[in-house]
């Protein structure tokens, strides 16, 4: 057996959980996320993200209108 430090054990546990996926999501939820990120809803989702970035200075990393 390979000896692991506490930090290495924590990292390995995080990797296992990440690979297993979020237990709060059911298969239908995962399908929606797949469609939003890689499927037929991708363009619509990207447009919504772009609009949010343009409208919100904190998210978009730009100065609010009127503050120069």
pLDDT of 66: 64
Whether 36 is in a domain gets the answer yes
32 vs 5, 8, 16, 26, 45, CA distance in Å? Answer: 38, 34, 23, 10, 11
Domain assignment present for residue 26? The answer is yes
- 66 within a domain of the structure (yes/no): no
pLDDT tens figures, 14-50: 888 888 877 888 999 989 989 998 999 999 999 999 9
**Can you give the pLDDT at residue 25?**
86
How many domains are there within the chain?
A: 1
Res. 60: pLDDT tops 70: yes
Q: Is the pTM of this model over 0.75?
A: no
CA angle 26, 29, 32 (to 5 degrees): 155
Residue 62 within a domain: no
Structural domain contains residue 34: yes
Distance from CA of residue 47 to its chain's centroid?
Answer: 16
């Amino acid at each position: 057996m390979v000896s692991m430090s506490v930090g290495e054990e924590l990292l390995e546990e995080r990797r296992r959980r990440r690979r297993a996926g979020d237990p709060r999501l059911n298969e239908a939820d995962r399908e929606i996320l797949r469609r939003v990120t890689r499927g037929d809803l991708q363009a619509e989702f990207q447009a919504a993200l772009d609009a949010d970035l343009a409208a919100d200075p904190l998210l978009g990393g730009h100065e609010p209108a009127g503050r120069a």
